Amino acid sequence: MTYQVILPAAGQGKRMGAGKNKLLLELNGVPVLIHTLRVFAGDKACSGIILAIHPQDEMEFIALLKRYNITKVISLVPGGKERQDSIYQALKTVKTDGVILVHDAARPFIRKEHIHRLAETAVKTGAAIIGVPAKDTMKKVQDSVVMETVERSSLWAVQTPQAFRISILREAYEKAERDKFLGTDDSSLVERLDHPVTIVEGDYDNIKLTTPEDLYFAEAIMKKREKGFY
């Protein structure tokens, strides 16, 4: 099994408030972008990385790829206004078939074993996503009033990577464009094709660095892993 991966990295990191793309922030002296890239660069099953970038970051990103000797990036694609636009631009450059993963560059803690389980599932079913069972009690709220308590056992917090047969993801993006549908993940576009999506259980370490406190969690995860804990 081999796969290609699209890494959307063209955001601005507004919620992180670092005054620059949060992917340039360092964990243990290495930029978040490089931590994520290393996972895929070091995976034999990954045949190529397509990186969606903001034009303002181009020079700096190219310099980092060189400095850290990341050679698996097959193309740098200018991103768009929304994450979905960035991924669509990247997807348009893919001409082959097979399986493609989409993974937020802001999730550096993804494990190779989960990537493989996900990609293998997508080979069989056409669409697979990674997530974890919800831990908190979940309620539906409207105007600060609880409407209902949602049955937790059926709720999952969904992460990336998400993996698809390329033809299915392409069709989903074309339909979303026609319908002007903007989703918060890739799966929601595929779900609109009525194509079943399989969920694969990942782990709670696979956080997306979004707000400043996530950097504390990230450091704790790094420390845990350095000590050899799973």
Binding footprint of ligand CTP on the chain (CB under 6 A):
8-15, 22, 52, 79-83, 86, 104-106, 208, 210
Nearer to ligand CTP, 123 or 208 (CB): 208
Q: Least distance to ligand CTP from the beta carbon of 86, Å?
A: 3
CB of 154 to Mg ion, least distance (A): 27
Which residue, 111 or 208, is less far from Mg ion as judged by CB?
Answer: 208
> Can you say whether the dihedral through the CA atoms of 177, 104, 5, 198 is positive or negative?
negative
Distance in Å from the first CA to the final CA of the chain = 25
Which residues does residue 51 pair with via DSSP β-bridges, in sequence order?
7, 76
Torsion angle (degrees, nearest 10) of CA 160, 165, 166, 167? -140
Cβ 91 to ligand CTP shortest distance, Å = 12
Taking the alpha carbons of 104, 133, 195, 139 in that order, is the dihedral positive or negative?
Answer: negative
Residues 4-63 that bind Mg ion (CB under 5 A): 11
Taking the complex as a whole, the smallest distance from the CB of residue 198 to ligand CTP amounts, in Å, to 22
| Helix, coil or strand: residue 163 | strand
DSSP letter (8 states) at residue 95: -
Among the listed residues 137, 111, 105, 122, the one whose alpha carbon sits nearest the alpha carbon of residue 202: 111
Q: Which residue is nearest to ligand CTP (CB)?
A: 11
Pick the closest to residue 88 from 78, 73, 75, 96 (CA basis). Answer: 78
Kindly state the smallest distance separating residue 53's Cβ from Mg ion, in Å: 14
Contacts of 33 (CB under 8 A, 6+ apart): 9, 23, 24, 61, 64, 105
| Residue 15 interacts with, from Mg ion, ligand CTP, none (CB under 5-8 Å by kind) | ligand CTP
Closer by beta carbon to ligand CTP, 126 or else 163 = 163
77 binding partner (options Mg ion, ligand CTP, none; Cβ < 5 to 8 Å by kind): none
Kindly give, in sequence order, each residue whose CB lies less than 8 Å from that of residue 59, ignoring residues fewer than 6 positions away: none
Distance in Å, CB of 204 to Mg ion, minimum: 21
* Count of residues touching Mg ion (by CB under 5 A): 1
The entry of Mg ion, ligand CTP, none near residue 165 (CB within 5 to 8 angstroms by kind) is none
Which residue, 23 or 46, has its beta carbon nearer to ligand CTP? 23
Q: Between residues 4 and 84, which has the closer beta carbon with respect to Mg ion?
A: 84
CB distance 163 to 127 below 8 Å: yes
Nearer to ligand CTP, 198 or 210 (CB): 210
Query: Which residues of this protein are in contact with Mg ion, per CB under 5 A?
Result: 11
